[in-house]
Amino acid sequence: MAETAKSPSQVRLALAQFLFAHDTDIETLYKALGADIAACDNEAVSHMAGIIDGITLATTKIRERGLDNWTKG
């Protein structure tokens, strides 16, 4: 059976879950990847900031509510 490609939002959710499971914050991930925000253009930095905000929010809610209930209001 062929695997269906994940959407960008599904990949971001999987990354948030991974970071939570391994108690790793997004800044640590960027440092480990060698990402230099200062070298990026403004549009790329803005886009990445939105993604980081979403991942940060998801990991915060996972910590507060648990993996099964994090999306519930």
Determine the Cα angle at 68 with ends 63 and 69, to 5°.
70
| Res 63: pLDDT | 85
Sequence ranges of the domains in the chain = 16-32+41-65
Give the pLDDT band of residue 2 (cuts 50, 70, 90): low
Q: Do 48 and 9 touch, CB atoms closer than 8 A?
A: no
* DSSP string across 27-40: HHHHHHHT--GGGS
| Res 18: pLDDT | 85
| Res 25: pLDDT | 80
**Taking 60 as the threshold, does the pLDDT of residue 1 lie above it?**
no
Give the pLDDT band of residue 11 (cuts 50, 70, 90): confident
Residue range 4-28: mean pLDDT, rounded:
82
